[in-house]
């Protein structure tokens, strides 16, 4: 027997083999595999290898082990039990490892045999199978035996299979009980967030009923014989607190009333659709209902609901309910409706607002104005009429003047009075033009539709009408208003009401935060789909994934619409919405390239006209590899900036960024058309890269090295990072240049001026405290003179003051804020004194007021002394 490590290794390998035994045998349930395994064992094991085995509950594996035992390969242990499980140990030598691996491969190969066995069994004829049922074969078991054996091994909560069987046989089945009225309240109040939804749901039901009768009339002309009108009428009764919604649709039979209104979540429209599977999609798409709960939203605003319905195939019936139970009775008045349904709501006290015609009109326009059928509301209106006026006291004039007298009487007998009359008024006058082809819609129709949905008085700048297909199909019309909302940036990032979502022309919601990105929140329009998955209340989408798909397509279409604008209209658009496009550059990496083509900037190439990046690239000089720009508060300031002096002198075009968001946008735009952007106010500006220029620059650096080192390590050691010879200056003596990743002077000014910025913001302090590069112009006389003085006396106080003043003026001209404003003012004063030959130590004269005050005090003291003297003399007398 080998060592302990060999025994453990052998036991682990044999455990894998035994597991393979179990899998194969459980799959085959037959003797052939047992024989095959025995033969395999004879091939790979010698008789001096001993196995220890306890009895197993798996009878197939036990049978195999007994077979191996018979052939002399196994020796049973003396401590067997029915519950001990299986444990095998081997004293094989390490040299037998190759045989073990070979045996494992054979076992895994044999495990694939069940698939072939299943295919063979599928070909067995049914009579043969029936004849073999119940017959016992050596090495085979039935599925029932396998199931029984598995049940014996399953233990649930400590119960044996026998105990579970007893429980199953003796258990009594019960149905869940509920109080219908309470369940109804829970369903209705949990489904709907807004009570006004009830009118949308009832009108949608009426629309479905009208669609059904219309579809039936296509094959049965007599379906409309009782009434050809297809409409919905809404009438309020304030005195009795009733609200009637009447349609001339298909109506309901008594059975329909029981099944559709008496069964929650049963949709008559869904069942109707199932019967129209042979119809075209065009016929089906107008039907709205699908969940079977919309009708019950009536209980949001009413305590009691009455439904009167007349179907062509049945009498007129009345259905009534208080949400806890319902009753159905034949209408004793007969077929007063001719055909259709009337829903009467007995309004709750808190729902009395729905008596008002204006409220009803507002809800109809909001939710159902694009329904295919006419919607009428019973409302009053004031008209002017003429009434006769009788004047009994008027005397009759002579007959000779009869003709004239009668004419005058007719004029006096009528007067104009205002009267209130009631009549049916059509509400949904605006048609869903998105359902038509774009070529069939006039521009005036698009403009009128825009005004109706936005309440804007001006025509839009542009529109796009399209149908999107793919993962989700929808129709849409998008508009660009002439003017953006006045609070567009105050509410930036919040939910907008710019896009109205309709499903089958029924309004769902316009409260979206993700339908359009923030920078396109000014876009107005509608989206209508027939297959969007809504929640049961139809107030929101179920799958937000589809919202992302819709958003992606809307953004692409909106940007394409903007791109295709006429130049004149685009100029007007850009003045109004340029900031939005630049915010889009920062917020929308996916469409950054598209947005960059829409940008326009002032340029050194034009005095008034804005230029696009595409036009700039087309005008770039040969071998120019960067797009140059400078940012500042105004064009006048950036045009005279020291940073663009050499660029303009060499004929390079420079973009002038004068809006606060411009520099932010440029930092988010790494390149355009393969050309990188270069801020003229930052490091990295390279204008000439030829050897001659490099050699000249090297010579200048050597000549001015004493000055640059003196500035860096002596005069301005606490203020600058380094001092270098500039390539961008031609007229100015110096400039302060930010690092590639630092803030320019313009950016620092913008960040410091934020309304909500802190006085001690760590981020702002970090960027503001970064030392800049001090660039000097070697051709400027001040720089040359400063070099001469530094070379003659590095400790010259005047030279140090001049260097500091030079640094401070460069700071201001570069757009940065001065830290030591008092010191700057004092140095300017010294220069002024020197230029005017005024001694630096000459004091400032005292104010005249102080002299006058001293004189007044002296005169008052003298007067007091004289008064005292006179009083003394008077007392002596």
Give the residue numbers of the binding site: 201, 205, 247, 252, 260, 267-268, 290-295, 341, 538
Instruction: Spell out the residues 6+ positions from residue 324 whose beta carbon is closer than 8 angstroms to its own.
Output: 179, 180, 181, 184
Instruction: Spell out the residues 6+ positions from residue 614 whose beta carbon is closer than 8 angstroms to its own.
Output: 597, 673
* CA separation for the pair 222, 372 (Å, rounded): 22
Q: How many CB atoms lie within 10 A of CB 414?
A: 12
What are the tokens at 123? 């070909």
* CA separation for the pair 376, 379 (Å, rounded): 9
CB 635 within 8 A of CB 602: yes
* CA separation for the pair 444, 460 (Å, rounded): 11
Please tell me whether residue 350 adopts helix, strand or coil conformation: helix
- Only one residue has tokens 């140095």, namely 827
* CA separation for the pair 64, 68 (Å, rounded): 6
* CA separation for the pair 556, 524 (Å, rounded): 15
**DSSP strand pairing (671-672 vs 720-725):** unpaired
* CA separation for the pair 276, 270 (Å, rounded): 10
* CA separation for the pair 833, 829 (Å, rounded): 6
Instruction: Spell out the residues 6+ positions from residue 778 whose beta carbon is closer than 8 angstroms to its own.
Output: 700, 703, 704, 725, 726, 784
CB 24 within 8 A of CB 63: no
Helix (H) or strand (E) holding 150, with range, is helix 143-153
Which residues are documented as binding site for ATP? 201, 205, 247, 252, 260, 267-268, 290-295, 341, 538
User: What phi, psi does 686 have (nearest 5°)?
Assistant: -130, 120
Helix axis angle, 161-170 to 143-153, nearest 10°: 100
- Per-residue HEC secondary structure of 441-479 comes to CCHHHHHHHHHHHHCCCCCCCEEEEEEECCCCCEEEEEE
Q: Which of 578, 724, 544, 763 is nearest to 660 (CA)?
A: 578
Q: What is the length of the chain?
A: 877
Instruction: Spell out the residues 6+ positions from residue 561 whose beta carbon is closer than 8 angstroms to its own.
Output: 462, 463, 464, 478, 480
Name 341's bridge partners: 247, 309
Q: Which of 464, 589, 458 is nearest to 517 (CA)?
A: 589
- For 202, 224, 227, 317, 333, the CA distances from 337, given in Å and listed in that order, are 18, 13, 9, 11, 10
Name 76's bridge partners: 53
Got the DSSP string for 525-536? EEEEESS--B-T
CB 376 within 8 A of CB 422: no
- For 2, 12, 90, 376, the CA distances from 49, given in Å and listed in that order, are 11, 16, 7, 98
* CA separation for the pair 614, 547 (Å, rounded): 33
Instruction: Spell out the residues 6+ positions from residue 59 whose beta carbon is closer than 8 angstroms to its own.
Output: none
Please tell me whether residue 694 adopts helix, strand or coil conformation: helix
* CA separation for the pair 261, 271 (Å, rounded): 14
Q: Which of 840, 643, 832 is nearest to 746 (CA)?
A: 643
Instruction: Spell out the residues 6+ positions from residue 592 whose beta carbon is closer than 8 angstroms to its own.
Output: 584, 585, 668, 669
* CA separation for the pair 507, 427 (Å, rounded): 15
User: What phi, psi does 474 have (nearest 5°)?
Assistant: -155, 160
């Amino acid at each position: 027997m080998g060592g302990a490590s060999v025994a453990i290794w052998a036991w682990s390998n044999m455990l894998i083999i035994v597991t393979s035994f179990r899998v194969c045998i459980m799959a085959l349930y037959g003797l052939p595999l047992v024989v095959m395994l025995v033969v395999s064992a004879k091939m790979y094991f010698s008789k001096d290898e001993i196995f220890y085995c306890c009895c197993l509950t798996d009878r197939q594996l036990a049978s195999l082990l007994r077979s191996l035992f018979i052939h002399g390969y196994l020796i049973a242990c003396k401590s067997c039990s029915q519950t001990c499980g299986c444990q095998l140990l081997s004293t094989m030598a390490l040299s037998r490892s190759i045989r073990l691996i070979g045996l494992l491969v054979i076992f895994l190969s044999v495990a694939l045999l069940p698939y072939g066995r299943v295919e063979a069994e599928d070909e067995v004829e049914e009579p043969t199978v029936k004849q073999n049922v119940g017959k016992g074969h050596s090495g085979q078991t039935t599925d029932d035996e396998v199931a029984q054996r598995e049940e014996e091994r399953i233990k649930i909560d400590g119960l044996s299979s026998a105990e579970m069987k007893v429980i199953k046989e003796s258990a009594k089945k019960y149905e869940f009980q509920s109080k219908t009225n309470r369940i109804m309240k829970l369903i209705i109040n949990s489904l709907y967030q807004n009570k006004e939804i009830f009118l949308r749901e009832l009108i949608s039901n009426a629309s479905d009923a009208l669609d059904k009768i219309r579809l039936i009339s296509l094959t049965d002309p007599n379906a409309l014989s009782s009434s050809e009108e297809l409409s919905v009428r809404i009438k309020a009764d304030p005195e009795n607190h009733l609200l009637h919604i009447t349609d001339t649709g298909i109506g309901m039979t008594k059975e329909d009333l029981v099944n559709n209104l008496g069964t929650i979540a049963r949709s008559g429209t869904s069942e109707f659709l199932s019967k129209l599977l042979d119809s075209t999609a065009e016929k089906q798409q107008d039907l709205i209902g699908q969940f079977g709960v919309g009708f019950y939203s009536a209980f949001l605003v009413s305590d009691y609901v009455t439904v009167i319905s007349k179907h062509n195939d049945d009498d007129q019936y009345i259905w009534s309910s208080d949400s806890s139970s319902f009753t159905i009775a034949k209408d004793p008045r007969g077929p007063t409706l001719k055909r259709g349904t009337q829903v009467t709501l007995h309004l709750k006290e808190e729902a009395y607002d729905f008596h008002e015609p204006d409220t009803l009109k507002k809800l109809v326009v909001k939710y159902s104005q694009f329904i295919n059928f006419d919607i009428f509301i019973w409302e009053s209106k004031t008209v002017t009429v003429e009434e006769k006026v009788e004047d009994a006291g008027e005397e009759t004039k002579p007959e000779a003047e009869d003709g004239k007298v009668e004419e005058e009487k007719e004029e006096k007998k009528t007067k104009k009075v205002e009267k209130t009359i009631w009549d049916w008024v059509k509400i949904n006058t605006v048609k869903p033009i998105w359902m038509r082809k774009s070529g069939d819609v006039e521009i005036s129709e698009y403009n009128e539709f825009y005004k109706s949905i936005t309440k804007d008085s001006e025509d839009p700048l542009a529109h796009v009408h399209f149908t999107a297909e793919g993962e989700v199909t929808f129709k849409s019309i998008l508009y660009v208003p002439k003017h953006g909302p006045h609070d567009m940036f105050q509410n930036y990032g919040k939910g907008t009401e710019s896009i109205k979502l309709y499903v089958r022309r029924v309004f769902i919601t316009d409260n979206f935060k993700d339908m359009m990105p923030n920078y396109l929140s000014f876009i107005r329009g509608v989206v209508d789909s027939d297959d969007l998955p809504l929640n049961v209340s139809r107030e929101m989408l179920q799958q937000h994934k589809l919202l992302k798909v819709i958003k992606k397509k809307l953004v692409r279409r909106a940007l394409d619409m903007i791109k295709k604008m006429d130049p004149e209209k685009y100029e007007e658009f850009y003045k109004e919405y340029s900031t939005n496009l630049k915010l889009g550059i920062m917020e929308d990496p996916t469409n950054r390239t598209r947005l960059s083509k829409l940008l326009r900037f002032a340029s050194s190439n034009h005095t008034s006209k804005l230029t696009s990046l595409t036009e700039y690239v087309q005008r770039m000089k040969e071998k120019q590899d960067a797009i140059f720009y400078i940012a500042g508060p105004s064009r006048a300031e950036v045009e005279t900036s020291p940073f663009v002096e050499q660029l303009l002198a060499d004929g390079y075009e420079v973009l002038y960024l004068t809006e606060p968001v411009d520099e932010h946008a440029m930092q988010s735009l790494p390149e355009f058309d393969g050309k990188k952007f270069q801020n003229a106010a930052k490091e990295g500006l390279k204008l000439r890269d030829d050897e001659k220029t490099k050699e000249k620059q090297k010579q200048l650096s050597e000549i001015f090295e004493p000055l640059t080192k003196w500035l860096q390590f002596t005069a301005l050691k606490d203020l600058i990072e380094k001092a270098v010879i500039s390539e961008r200056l031609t007229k100015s003596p110096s400039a302060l240049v930010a690092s590639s990743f630092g803030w320019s002077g313009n950016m620092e000014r913008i960040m410091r001026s934020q309304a909500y910025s802190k006085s001690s913001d760590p981020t702002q302090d970090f960027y503001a405290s970064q030392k800049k590069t001090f660039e000097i112009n070697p051709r400027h006389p001040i720089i040359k003179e400063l070099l001469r003085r530094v070379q003659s006396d590095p400790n010259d106080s005047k030279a140090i003051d001049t260097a500091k003043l030079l640094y401070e003026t460069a700071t201001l001209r570069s757009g940065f804020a001065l830290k030591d404003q008092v010191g700057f003012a004092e140095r300017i004063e010294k220069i002024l004194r020197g230029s005017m030959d005024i001694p630096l130590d000459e004091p400032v004269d005292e104010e005249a007021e102080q002299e006058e005050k001293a004189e007044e005090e002296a005169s008052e003291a003298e007067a007091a002394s004289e008064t005292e003297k006179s009083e003394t003399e008077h007392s002596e007398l």
